[in-house]
Chain A
Amino acid sequence: MSARTSVARRTLATPLILSALLIVFALLAWFVGSKPFNQTIIDIFLRVILVVGLYIFVGNSGVISFGHAGFTCLGAYAAAWLTMPPMMKQTLLPGLPEWLTALQLPYWAGAGLAALWAAVWAALFGKILMRLSGIAASIATFAMLAMINTIYSNWEDVTGATSSVVGIPIVRTVWPYLIAAILAVFIAWAHAISRAGLALRAARDEPTAASASGIDLPRERLIAFVVSGAVMGMGGALFAHSIGVVTPDTFYLGLTFITLSMLVVGGMGSLSGAVIGVLFLSVLIQALRWLEAGVTIGASKFALPNGVQEIALGVVMILILARRPSGLMGNKELGWRRAGSVAPDVSGQKQPDLSKGVSK
């Protein structure tokens, strides 16, 4: 017990520093006071939630999941079902059960239940999928994503099929998103230093030795899968509240790849990497978009051609991964001491390279 407390104290710096970083972004939005900039910061927080959610499973288990956008979809639609005005539900989603149509919760309660809903499905899917390892598991998670997407794109009465679901209350202040992002960071940290998290990371690096020591790999993976599914579900719900519209195609390949690449660029094996990856790439994307729109320097206006943003983003990501194959943070966490105190780290752990992340 005392050992656990000391692990917590030793590693508490990481979530605190990351939260401080997020608070700086929120304050920036507050100081600038521009609505589109505020929305940009909200977007960044949403991505932080999603990438941290992804990290909880991918980072700790080493199994790349292509399916987590599915949980975001589950969460977003659950939020729509729970928070839309009953009148709109009646016309847009006539297939919902009566008690659900009549229900209208505040957004935070909706987001909580959406997270729970996503977690329930993560548990059901995970029970089967977590028996698989390596690339087979990755492909199975992708199949899960395709299933969720197909069901939500076609179940007309309940999800509105491919039409946009509108009427979701829009929340435009930055604070709820900040709180949720900090919550996600702390959940990830708490899971990482828990028995399940430590066991899972041990199994990621040395599966044979880990199972010889009595670690039940499918069970530990399932725990991470459920926790990360819940965080993704919460992120999905908040996404729905950030723009007020949900459609199934929002939560498909595009979201899958952007969240995965942010995690990979930041460093798959590190919670700090997940957060820093999002912040770094989001700032880069935003700066490039800003340059595309044009900057006035003196008398002349300088603008990049449209589309440069996507190309430049790709080039930067290649450069980062060429120079630092294990991402910006590698396997390190931010800490008080220099050179990154080994936070929720298993001693003697090797730097995982990318190819290793997928294997086993």
Chain B
Amino acid sequence: MNRLKNLPTLRIDAERVLSFTYRGKTCQGLEGDTVATALYANGVRVFGRSLKYHRPRGLYSLDGECSNTMMEVDGVPNVRAEATVLASGMTVKPQNIKGSPEFDLMGFMDGLSWAMPAGFYYRVFHKPARIWPAAIKQIRQAAGLGTLSPDFRMKGRFDEIYPAAEVCVIGGGPAGMAAALAAAEQGLRVILLESRPWLGGAFEYRTTADSSGTALFESARELARKVERTAGIRIFTHAPVVGVYTDGQVTAVQRGGADQSFDERYIEIRARSVVAATGCIERPLLFENNERPGIMQTECALRLARTWGILPGSEAVFSIGHDQGLEAAIDLCDLGLKVAVVADTREDGQDALLLDALAQRRIPFLKGWVAQKAHGSRQISSATLSSLNGHFNRELPCDLLVASAGLTPVTGPLTLAEAKLSYDSRTGFFLPNELPAWLYAAGRLLGLAHFEAIAASGRLAGLRAAQRCGAEAAAGIRDCESRLKELPGPVRGSKFVSAPRAGKKAFVCFDEDTTLKNVDQAMDMGFDVPELIKRFTSAGTGPGQGGIPGHNLPLYVNQSGSSPDSQPRPTLTRPPLVPTLMAAYAGAGHAMAKRTPLHELQKADGGRMETVGDWKRARRFSDDVRCRAEITNVRTNVGLLDASTLGKFRLFGPDALKALQRVYVSDMSRMHAGKAKYSAMCNDDGCLTDDGVIVQTGESEYYFTTSTGRAGVTSEWIRYHTRFDNWDFSLVNLTDAYGVINIAGPNARAVLSKVTPAAVDNEAFPYMGYREFDVGGVAVRALRLGFVGELSYELHVPSSWMAGVWGVLTEAGREFGIRNFGLEAQNALRLDKGHIIIGSESEQRTTLHDLGLGFLWHRHKPEARTVGDGALRHTEKQSGRLKLVGLKMEDASAQPPGDGSPIVDKRIRGYVCTARYSVALKEPVGMALVEEGLAAEGSRLAIYEDGCEGRLIYAKVAKKPFYDPEGERLRS
């Protein structure tokens, strides 16, 4: 296609040709094109098919208010072609078609629109109820535009950035630019966010001259250059704002490209003041077939020519309602477009100079006329215009219908900030009448049209924003206010909403195929509030984020008189303001997981690493999910476990003991040197939250451990429960300072004695003992505990030494065939002993008594006000609670039941916590929480496994520990 050349407003480079493919065919575009403009330049008019009726859709606006031009680009569905800069080699495909956009096999749906009235989804497909499963299947297939396979992986480089500034300006038109300059002048840091690739806003391409004779686009670009030169202003283009939140938080998603370090990035700003200068979009005109390809808004037609050098058609009809529409007709006529007629919905009030210009070009002009119907099955072939009273009409052939009811303000960011908007009858706009203290509005969105007035209003907002940040701006604000009074104020706007007899195919929302008739149907059914009508008809709930129904919907509903409000009320908007990729919100997407000092060694040994809470841990070391070899090795020989994730803390200070007494249920004043004390922490309901061992290491100093999952909240917990006491104690979290090696098995002592000079025989280092000695020359803390039921030592080694000490132990253990065991093996081993894991054998409602750990609780320390004390007393004899029991399957050769399986008779009586096949006992064992009535030894438990379809399996309550009940092995 021949592009217009030598226009000073062009943003394309005619020398740089880019190749891309569309539906498999190679096409050419120019550098600076968007995917949409490149397709249009290649003659594409039908871009896709609509959601419900599969109506052909084309280029309507250039700012993505509707999903007409959402296409699949490089394998990514639902890409907004209007906003996507063309890159060499792109692959573009249309969406939601069977066949081609021109000959979509689903096109017959349009003829069935009578069968799909407003809200038919809610009312049709479930009567009778049995048709719903089949219906939902069909609806799901028909729903949506782009397609995605379940294993789709988003490609591209995504990032996140949190730039700091005092003032954030949304919108890079003259108002936004003036605001940014005003704030920067005051010495503040300013961020300016602009959704288009360049600054200038609505004036960036207009050739009309202002009172001084300068073309508007030149003034806009001059201002843009000034902004770009100002050091204190950081500009982000290609960055539409997606969210505005309390206390000046603004989010945006910026498109990058091959020459940047990102394809898309998330921007989050916390500013003290925010200026919204988002300008206007156009208000769609409502008439029959108002969304045919070949129909487009004023700005779209003008920018195609002025910015991208593409004459939007050859024979055009204009149906507009504002001076800018006249301006566009004149300019396009001068660029070579044949304008058959300009119909203006206004009876009067047009700019006289513009009327003269129309007359000079002999363009017929109709006052008080409007487009009534567009003809043509896939593209517009002619348009019927009608007088407003419907009496007169005329049909004219055309391949382009420029249709617009006028302007409407972009109030999205204001609505998100919970500003109050109210209808102003002069401008026809929803104007802000109550803004949060940190938000300022400026420019065209207030109804201004004069370039200087817009800039002055921006400057005023910028100065006020700066003042809020502490700048001395009072004098500047006064000057600006008086200047504004001298300049033209808000202009009379368009009220007009719909053409006469518009109904069945006058689309209020293009995305959801909602027509005026649908809105009428909703009102007939009794809906009277635009917000509800919006949801019932789904108008405005599509990817265009309400840009097309916009303010038309509440204005139409208000006109009908069925709304209880005398004044129109705008509908709500929610973030994101423009469709946003999930990957953009994920930003750089770095998963922050914690690694133990042995991570690489464990992996090298074949560890299957998993994310468990904050950490990466080895689940097992072979493909055997039952870990039989690992388990057998611990029971008969010696194994090594990386237990580094355990919480570890140093507690000291004059009131250290008081703090311990507050959170631990035992009497912590009775501790013996060299001995570890096992205790538990409960919450105020007496329910177990954590367990661990405590060692006294000094007169008023302790070293204690917690479970992995609670390590991160222990300081928080202890400080919370002592916040009123003003005690003098200090806590240091040493969880990451020590790695932990658990060496377990009958040969553990033999291995350990090879690597330490200290005495480790049973008398010198008994069960539950605590010692400090060297291993391989490195000072370690050692605890003898018995979680897995064998002789074992827990060695706490300073993290930087861990790998070295691990090496020493594995070397010493080589003659025994020492090997790793992982979390799963540990799980099965401790189960043999009936030892609990918090969260598996306990839940939020499980008290210490329920778990059989009531013996840990020392009831005679009332001054301590131990957390959980009262509840433990109250629940000690309470009935109706679930109790922890051991279980063995009736059939010893059966599979163990799945974790979490309910225990039933006529109702649920409890559930299986954990069950595994015990390698030592050669039968399945488990633990369950069951109602008291089933807790007696020998009780029969009926277990319902997921998917068993009624075939229950049976177990009997058995005494625990199942293995080595006397504890001889761990005390050996």
Partners in one complex: no
Residues on A facing B (Cβ under 8 Å): none
